[in-house]
Structure 1
Amino acid sequence: MRERKKEENALFFIGWAFIGIVLFIYIFCRIFSIPPLKINGPCVLHMLFGIYCPGCGGTRSISALLHGHLWDSFVCHPLVPYTAIVGGWFLISQTIERISKHKIKIALRYRDIYLWIALGIVVVNFILKNVLLFVWNIDLLADYTL
């Protein structure tokens, strides 16, 4: 039980630190007129072999999510909305419980199953996108550009 508490504390602080870093990058990009989602380069695996890597569509998914297009975000990479929902609720519920000094017990508790679900999403997404592309010539990411 004590070990789970340490994991939850670490995830809580890492989550808020991650949000802080993302906000810093966003503000930096706004100040220097750099499109924030154009920082990363193209996928090397897709350029060399024509297949999608397990992360392909992630940046487009983030962009769609930030613009309020949940379905488009899900189609581009379902891990992004899953992480936003589960991670967001984890941070919000943990914050509320900590601020209330554990009087309001709504905090989402860490479970390994959340990571297994995320891994399953990545694997299914990778297989599905490449099968659709090579078997039926359906490119799910072709319609979604940044």
Structure 2
Amino acid sequence: MEKRNTYEQKKIDDILYILGLSSAAICCMYLLISQITGFRIENYLYPCLFHVVTGYYCPGCGGTRAVRALFQGHFLISFFEHPFVLYAAVLCGWFLISQTIERLSQHKLSVAMHYKDRYLWIGLAILIVNCAIKNLVRFFWGINLL
């Protein structure tokens, strides 16, 4: 793990904060538009090519269904469809909330979560374990988990 100085950490946190707020705004707009018009982006997505060709799951299989379940407030279903989605939502949510609290308090409340490489490694491990479990269950027992 590399050590970052305070300036580098602040720069990374600032960039991620802006990206996070922008992403949250886009998600809110999508939810509003989908509620008003009935538009569903998943109706326009192609199926997973890896799954179509091989019959097995790629590391991202189930992600769209997990996001849809998360947007509908079905957290447990989202977790079972693809645990990375819930992990990323919780991590990003806490990052944005804690950074906002610290920024609004003008850094008097030191509660802000800061970026660490380990969060990416944990996410990668979740992707690998999820993909391995779903494919092993499909290979050995023929059970389709998605």
TM-score (norm 2): 0.89
Q: Partner letter of residue 48 of structure 1?
A: V
> Given the alignment of the two structures, is residue 128 of structure 1 paired with residue 136 of structure 2, yes or no?
no
Q: Partner letter of residue 6 of structure 1?
A: K
Q: Partner letter of residue 78 of structure 1?
A: P
Q: Partner letter of residue 131 of structure 1?
A: L
Separation in 2, partners of 1:68, 1:31: 18
Which of 95, 100, 104 aligns to 2:105? It is: 100
> Given the alignment of the two structures, is residue 61 of structure 1 paired with residue 72 of structure 2, yes or no?
no
Q: Runs ≥4 in structure 1, deviation > 6 angstroms? A: none
Structure 2 matches for 1:5-84, cutoff 5 A?
5-84=10-89
Q: How many residues align?
A: 141
Deviation at 1:18, TM superposition (A): 1.0
Deviation at 1:137, TM superposition (A): 1.1
Which of 115, 120, 123 aligns to 1:118? It is: 123
Query: How big is each residue's C-alpha offset from its partner over 1:85-120, in whole Å with a ceiling of 9 and x where there is no partner?
Result: 111000000001001101111111111100000011
- The answer to whether the 8 A contact 1:26-1:36 is kept is no
Q: Partner letter of residue 114 of structure 2?
A: R
Q: Which moved more, 1:31-40 or 1:55-64?
A: 31-40
- Aligned sequence identity (%): 45
